[in-house]
């Protein structure tokens, strides 16, 4: 009932239908990650440069421009991916089809890592944005981030239709308020001659070095995360899908560039510096809008879009996991649609992993970012390289131009991958670099298991095997272990008689000599069924029974294993179980899991008897 | 294998034999709790009086003498209990036989609480004794106490013979070193005229009041704990049991009195005050023996006897729990003898509860003591009152004298119970006072459950029921749910055919229209068995199956429930289970626990198929 309240009632499978999005709703659905990443990208660039003082910070804008250049390249590359893979060209599919299974799986692994980190980074950065305006919240970073995670998880478990609507508001609120603020800032500065070219001197704790600049660049590259989202989701667009998706991508890239260049430029040329724990974007908003309503609105909309950005992962991760699972690289249950026609297992898995990251990194987005850009750029590079081969193989119209664009994209993102991987290695990128091959290895292990299972269960082995068995058709021998004489036993005997005329009861004698009494009673009620008394000098129930079963099978001529019929008392309340011997349970699990040889094992017949109270 | 290393290999039931103790070994086995309680009793009296400064501390000795008087009374009372109950007269048995079931259970509950607290207090006081000589250990109070608990638990799980030997050494070491020290202290003081009658002035933070004196008295009453142990264990003594047990009790009481009066008297008349965190007995040993080897030896032997005292609980708790369990007031497994012929469940339960107390009270014996004396004195009082009635009823030789002795004992311990309960109420006694009726309530709940179970399972209902069933003897209907066609199904079909000629296969169609394909395949292999396709619009496996089974049963004429035969794949490794649908498991548990009506429920036939890799 609680489940229905939060998740909603189940939806029949037949109501599953395509829920196409127009450009406005598609932008809301796919862009939050991409647009909001300017929040942490700005912050990371600032933190990387501030150690070199004023001379460091004076490089913010040039670095921002370089990243914007990379953004344009990557956007064009993905624009082409949309043309080449109109049915949705996630990095996994593009890399797998063009480069081979292992590169495809590497792209998939980096995407899974990336989705998880995006969720964690977005949520923690969202908390940072709101805590910048209400500093008392800094103390509660982790619980707040976990709370937002819970909300996002529930919304996603409810299903995609609600998701679309829930997201449009924050995205457009963010776009409108932010663009207005940037425009207002520029105009204000022009009118009051507020732009500075000479900076206040800020002391440097480190000299400005090439390494430092590269670090700032790597840190800022997180601005590009989320740009690939549209290329994965082409089929969700209204027709003509390819055209609409392409346009939406270009609009989104333009907005990303505008927000990024605008905010980083204003920050530098208004000489904005944060006070205390606040983020650099909060400091910029403070400078432009003062302390009033406008400022609070900006911070709230930053928080909202960041929380919604985490949602991008919740769309991407479960879908990719389901694709991988249906290809046999992840557990099959990930392909199952839950009550609300969403991949519930994938959503819950992502939520658990994200929660773990937030707890481990104490809700600090700055600590999480270094792990994160590597995975994104590995998948960018693999996907772009795949596209190069794609154009080379298909050779359609303008293939040389297209190949060149993707080729430049591949080289640029490849170089960025190397820069990020090396400059951020010790700060955490090593974790992702280590994780990706491990995950690929796991993919293969899972597939191996499924393949081996399928081979063992193959129907092709049926006919021969079956013929032999039908020929040797004899009555099933049944063994009935008893611990005392009670009414549950009567039911078990009745069933045993219905299914076999070869029944053997056994009593395991734990208390020495208790067997005589039991045997007398037994013969009074069931004289037609033989009872064996098995002594158990060490008071174990299991091992004398197993030994007896083995001996009994060896001595019989029918070449099959005797079935065990177990009367099981089921108490009315769960806690009552500690008041009863768990013998039936113990016997069941030791029969079920005792691995003697492969293939068919001993049949267990469970005769439940429900108790009152 | 690890288990065998720590616990030892199993012992056959037939090797169980009486392992009688002579007086010397019996004293070692039963006295550690009683003898060692002087350690914390001294400490508690000191802590209660020190707040009233020198004038408070000058009352130590008189209070000590009063407690010793009580000790003599209680010892004489228990001496008579031994005569009256030569087969072992634990408070539970004495109170139950003479006062009725509820008082008996109240005594049992207080004893169980008391045993647990004794173990916790002894272990933590033992740690305090060793930490007094090695102050660095104060920081590790909790882990050290838990370590000692672990050692005691393992020794007890190994069985009683090892326990007897392991205990004799510390007990006699403690007796010899302590009595020597006290004698040395007296002689030294006499020779050097060291006794003081005028005390250093010590500032008082509270005035000396009657309440304070009563508090000190209550605190000191913990010296009596453990005195009842011998009366529980009469049958373990060498013949003549009663005489030997009685003598041993008197020797033990004499030694207790000597140690208690000696140590508290010397502390007062040598004007001993502890420094820093050390215990008062450590301060006394310091004063008499200085700082050298003698002092360290005394502290180590205090620690050892306190640890061994915890062992008294490990002898008493499991035995009492087993008696209660065989009377149906506690879960039956507590009566089972483990590999080494000890009540393993009882030992493990006590160990867990004690560990919990140590952790909750952060290894501080002073915080635990107020909880503890109440339970002891409640059981003293109940047991003595029971003895009064016993003599009244039996009226043997000298019954009036005996009745008088136990009567005085009952009144004295009853008054002490009231004093302790009221003065220590807020400090923790309320916990025990609350716990005892709760435990009694639980005893009754457990018994009610067993009685109701026995009635439901009674053989007296067999004959009638059985006759009807044998008359309506028809073939068992079998339902076989399948999720796909594989070799495991072949085994299930084979078994089904062996046990029934009425088989119905069902396929639950989660993916719409997938049933057609499955049906075609099915008919190719098993055309003789009908297959029903059950649509599952909400993608659930369980509910369509359960609905179908109900409908199938209603439509059949045989008035019994169809059995369900479940092919179950067992992966080679446990973690592989997440790679497979847990359908068989889910179906089993929902069939087993779905409570529809009482009595016999649907039979489940499990056909395991073991996978390779």
- pLDDT tens sequence across A380-428: 899 889 989 999 988 888 888 888 988 998 998 898 888 888 888 888 8
Residue B565 pairs with which residues in a beta bridge? B605
Residue B113: predicted pLDDT: 92
pLDDT at B305 over 80: yes
pLDDT at A469 over 70: no
CA–CA distances in Å: residue A569 to residues A455, B204, B457, B549, B601:
39, 66, 10, 22, 10
Looking at the structure, tell me whether residues B366 and B488 fall in a common domain: no
Is A468 part of any domain?
A: no
Q: Which of B326, B347, B371 is the last residue of a domain?
A: B371
Looking at the structure, tell me whether residues B506 and B367 fall in a common domain: no
Q: Which among A429, A65, A368, A52 has a CA at the least distance from the CA of A210?
A: A52
- Tokens for A593, please give them: 């899991």
Weakest-pLDDT range from A79-88, B106-115, B220-229, B596-605: B596-605
Angle at A364 between CA A359 and CA A367, to 5 degrees: 105
pLDDT, tens digit, 9 for 90 and up, residues B151-204: 889 888 877 555 556 677 888 888 888 898 998 888 888 888 767 766 566 777
CA dist A413 and A69 (Å) reads: 11
Question: Which residues in chain A (76-105) have CB-CB distances under 8 A to chain B?
Answer: none
Task: Establish if A472 touches chain B: CB-CB under 8 angstroms.
Answer: no
Looking at the structure, tell me whether residues A374 and A242 fall in a common domain: yes
Q: Which residue has the higher pLDDT, A167 or A298?
A: A298
Using pLDDT thresholds of 50, 70 and 90, give the confidence band for residue B363.
confident
pLDDT, tens digit, 9 for 90 and up, residues B35-44: 888 888 888 8
Residue A354: predicted pLDDT: 95
**Over residues A88-109, mean pLDDT:** 87
Length of chain A: 613
**Over residues B111-133, mean pLDDT:** 90
The pair phi, psi for residue A75, each rounded to 5°, is -60, -45
CA–CA distances in Å: residue B559 to residues A610, B22, B489, B598, B605:
18, 67, 28, 16, 19
Mutate to test the interface with B, among A349, A453, A509 (most CBs of B within 10 A): A453
Is B303 part of any domain?
A: yes
Q: Which residue has the higher pLDDT, B351 or B489?
A: B351
Residue B17: predicted pLDDT: 57
Weakest-pLDDT range from A489-493, A509-513, A599-603, B294-298: A599-603
On average, the pLDDT of chain A sits at 84
CA-CA-CA-CA torsion sign (B427, B432, B435, B436): negative
pLDDT, tens digit, 9 for 90 and up, residues B531-574: 999 988 888 888 889 889 989 988 887 778 889 999 888 877 77
Question: Strand, coil or helix: what is A478?
Answer: strand
Q: Which of B319, B349, B371 is the last residue of a domain?
A: B371
* CATH number, position A550: 3.40.50
Is A460 part of any domain?
A: no
pLDDT, tens digit, 9 for 90 and up, residues A329-378: 998 888 887 777 778 889 999 999 999 999 998 888 888 888 888 888 88
Residues of the domain holding B179: 2-371
Residue A3: predicted pLDDT: 62
- Tokens for B48, please give them: 């209660």
Residue B81: predicted pLDDT: 87
Question: Which residues in chain B (338-377) have CB-CB distances under 8 A to chain A?
Answer: 338-339
Radius of gyration of chain B (CA): 33
* CATH number, position B317: 1.20.1740.10
Highest mean pLDDT among A132-141, A282-291, A358-367, B350-359: B350-359
Mutate to test the interface with A, among B332, B449, B458 (most CBs of A within 10 A): B449
Percent of chain A whose predicted confidence (pLDDT) is above 90: 18
CA–CA distances in Å: residue A402 to residues A176, A243, B502:
34, 16, 67
Q: Output DSSP code: residue B309.
A: H
Angle at B541 between CA B537 and CA B543, to 5 degrees: 80
Radius of gyration of chain A (CA): 33
- Tokens for A6, please give them: 């939060």
Using pLDDT thresholds of 50, 70 and 90, give the confidence band for residue A109.
very high
Q: Which of B371, B392, B417 is the last residue of a domain?
A: B371
Question: Strand, coil or helix: what is B534?
Answer: strand
Looking at the structure, tell me whether residues A419 and A510 fall in a common domain: no
pLDDT at A1 over 60: no
pLDDT at A562 over 70: yes
- Judging by DSSP bridges, how do beta strands A563-570 and A478-482 pair with one another? parallel
Looking at the structure, tell me whether residues A212 and A292 fall in a common domain: yes
Domain total in chain B: 2
H or E stretch covering A567: strand A563-570
Task: Establish if B457 touches chain A: CB-CB under 8 angstroms.
Answer: yes
pLDDT, tens digit, 9 for 90 and up, residues A220-271: 888 888 888 888 778 878 888 889 999 999 999 999 999 999 999 888 888 8
Is B587 part of any domain?
A: yes
Residue A604 pairs with which residues in a beta bridge? A564, B606
Is B600 part of any domain?
A: yes
Highest mean pLDDT among B84-88, B433-437, B489-493: B433-437
The pair phi, psi for residue A509, each rounded to 5°, is -90, 100
CA dist B559 and A399 (Å) reads: 75
Looking at the structure, tell me whether residues A412 and A498 fall in a common domain: no
Q: Closest to B494 (Cβ–Cβ): which among A14, A469, A613? A: A469
Looking at the structure, tell me whether residues A367 and A406 fall in a common domain: yes
Is B389 part of any domain?
A: no
Looking at the structure, tell me whether residues A265 and A120 fall in a common domain: yes
Weakest-pLDDT range from A132-141, A142-151, B518-527, B592-601: B592-601
Using pLDDT thresholds of 50, 70 and 90, give the confidence band for residue A455.
confident
pLDDT at B362 over 80: yes
Q: Taking CA atoms, what residue in B is nearest to A511? A: B13
Q: Which residues contact B300 (CB under 8 A, 6 or more apart)?
A: B130, B133
Residue A19: predicted pLDDT: 63
Cβ–Cβ gap A605/B602 under 8 Å: no
Cβ–Cβ gap A592/B579 under 8 Å: no
Q: Which residue has the higher pLDDT, B235 or A474?
A: B235
Q: Which residue has the higher pLDDT, B206 or B431?
A: B431
Is A461 part of any domain?
A: no
Looking at the structure, tell me whether residues A512 and A591 fall in a common domain: yes
pLDDT, tens digit, 9 for 90 and up, residues B475-527: 789 999 998 888 888 888 888 888 888 899 999 988 888 889 889 888 888 88
pLDDT at A126 over 80: yes
Using pLDDT thresholds of 50, 70 and 90, give the confidence band for residue B254.
very high
CA dist A458 and B70 (Å) reads: 82
Terminus-to-terminus CA distance in chain B, angstroms? 25
Cβ–Cβ gap B452/A494 under 8 Å: no
Using pLDDT thresholds of 50, 70 and 90, give the confidence band for residue B7.
low
* CATH number, position B516: 3.40.50.620
Question: Which residues in chain A (513-532) have CB-CB distances under 8 A to chain B?
Answer: 521, 525
Is A471 part of any domain?
A: no
Residue B357: predicted pLDDT: 92
The pair phi, psi for residue B480, each rounded to 5°, is -120, 100
Cβ-Cβ contacts under 8 Å, A470 against chain B: 494
């Amino acid at each position: 009932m609680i489940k229905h309240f939060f998740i909603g009632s189940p939806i029949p499978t037949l109501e599953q239908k395509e829920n196409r999005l127009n450009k406005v709703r598609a932008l809301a659905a796919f862009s939050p990650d991409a647009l909001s990443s300017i929040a942490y990208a700005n912050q990371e660039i600032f933190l990387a440069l501030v150690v070199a003082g004023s001379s460091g910070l004076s490089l913010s804008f040039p670095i921002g421009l370089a990243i914007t250049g990379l953004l344009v390249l990557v956007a064009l590359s993905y624009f082409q991916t949309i043309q080449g893979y109109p049915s949705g060209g996630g990095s996994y599919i593009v890399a797998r089809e063009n480069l081979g299974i292992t590169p495809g799986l590497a792209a998939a692994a980096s995407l899974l890592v990336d989705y998880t980190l995006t969720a964690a980074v977005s949520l923690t950065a969202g908390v940072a944005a709101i805590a910048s305006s209400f500093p008392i919240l800094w103390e509660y970073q982790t619980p707040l981030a976990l709370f937002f995670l819970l909300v996002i998880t529930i919304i996603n478990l409810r299903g995609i239709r609600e998701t679309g609507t829930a997201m449009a508001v924050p995205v457009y609120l963010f776009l409108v308020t932010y663009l207005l603020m940037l425009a207002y800032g520029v105009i204000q500065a022009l009118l009051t001659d507020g732009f500075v070219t000479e900076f206040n001197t800020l002391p440097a704790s480190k000299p400005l070095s090439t390494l430092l600049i590269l670090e700032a660049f790597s840190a800022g590259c997180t601005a590009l995360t989320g740009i690939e989202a549209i290329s994965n989701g082409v089929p969700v667009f209204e027709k003509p899908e390819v055209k609409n998706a392409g346009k939406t991508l270009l609009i989104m890239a333009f907005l990303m560039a505008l927000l990024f260049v605008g905010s980083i430029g204003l920050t530098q040329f208004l000489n904005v510096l944060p006070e205390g724990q606040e983020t650099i974007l909060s400091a910029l908003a403070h400078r432009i809008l003062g302390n009033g309503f406008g400022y609070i609105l900006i911070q709230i909309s930053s928080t909202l879009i960041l929380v919604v950005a985490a949602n991008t992962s919740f769309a991407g991760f479960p879908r990719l996991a389901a694709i991988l699972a249906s290809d046999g690289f992840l557990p099959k249950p990930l392909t199952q649609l839950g009550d609300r026609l969403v991949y519930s297992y994938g959503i819950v898995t992502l939520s658990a992993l994200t929660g773990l990251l937030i707890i481990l990194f104490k809700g600090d987005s700055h600590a999480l970012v270094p792990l994160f850009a590597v995975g994104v750029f590995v998948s960018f590079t693999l996907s772009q390289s795949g596209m190069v081969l794609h154009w080379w193989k298909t050779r359609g119209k303008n293939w040389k131009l297209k190949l060149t664009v993707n080729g430049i994209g591949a080289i640029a993102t490849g170089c960025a991958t190397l820069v990020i991987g090396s400059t951020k290695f010790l700060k955490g990128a090593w974790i992702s670099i280590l994780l990706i091959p491990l995950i690929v290895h796991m993919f293969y292990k899972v597939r191996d298991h499924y393949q081996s299972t399928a081979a063992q269960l193959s129907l092709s082995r049926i006919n021969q095997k079956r013929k032999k068995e039908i020929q040797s058709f004899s009555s099933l021998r049944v063994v009935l272990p008893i611990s005392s004489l009670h009414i549950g036993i009567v039911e078990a005997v009745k069933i045993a008689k219905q299914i076999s005329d070869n029944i053997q009861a056994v009593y395991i004698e734990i208390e020495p000599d208790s067997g005589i009494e039991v045997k007398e009673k037994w013969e009074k009620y069931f004289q037609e069924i033989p009872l064996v008394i098995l002594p158990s000098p060490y008071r174990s129930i299991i091992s004398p029974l197993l030994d007896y079963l083995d001996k009994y099978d060896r001595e019989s001529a029918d070449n099959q294993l005797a079935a065990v019929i177990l009367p099981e008392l089921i108490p009315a309340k769960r806690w009552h179980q500690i008041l009863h011997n768990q013998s039936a349970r113990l016997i069941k699990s030791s029969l079920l899991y005792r691995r003697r040889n492969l293939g068919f094992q001993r049949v267990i017949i469970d005769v439940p008897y429900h108790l009152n109270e």
